[in-house]
Amino acid sequence: MISNILVAMDGSESSLRAYSYASFLAKRCDAALIIVNICDIFERITGEIKRELGDIAKKIEAEARTGISIQLLEDYKSQAKDSGIKDVKTIRREGNAAAEILYIADEQNVDTIVIGSKVKA
């Protein structure tokens, strides 16, 4: 039985499809919906670019990403609640997306993960 569904959102078309499917499952199974947004961290950029950009670029990037991702999460949480999903939670993290999704899934006792994919026709 499905009881905790995690859906990863980044605002892309494929994540929108994932959100639609996860919402459908949550309603159908009366499951909790956990909407996550993972921002890739600046430290993964290496070499000359990182040295040139330094702390100023990191601060600008972090502030812009934070505002956008918080708004994204709140918008989808509101949509989910309006559609009748009773238990909706949002989580925002920074780091490697794949690793963070797995950490969150473990922390939240998730039994179903829904992520988007780009399908080439």
Structural domain range at position 86: 4-114
pLDDT the model gives residue 2: 95
User: For 45-70, what is the mean pLDDT?
Assistant: 59
| Rounded distance between C-alpha atoms, residue 55 and residue 72, angstroms | 26
Q: Does 47 reside within a domain?
A: yes
For residue 121, tell me if it sits in a domain.
no
Residue 6 has pLDDT above 70, yes or no: yes
- Within a domain: 33: yes
Say whether pTM exceeds 0.85: no
Q: Which residue has the higher pLDDT, 83 or 96?
A: 83
In a domain, 119, yes or no: no
- Read off the pLDDT of residues 10-38 as tens digits, 9 standing for 90 and up: 888 999 999 999 999 999 999 999 999 98
Burial 55-76 (b: 16+ CB within 10 A, else e): eeeeeebeeebeeebeebbeeb
What per-residue confidence (pLDDT) applies to 77? 95
Residue 106 lies in a domain: yes
* 120 occurs within a structural domain: no
CATH code of residue 101 = 3.40.50.620
Q: Would you say residue 59 lies in a domain?
A: yes
Closest alpha carbon to 23 in 89, 83, 110, 70: 83
> Across the chain, what does the average pLDDT equal?
84
The total number of structural domains that make up the chain:
1
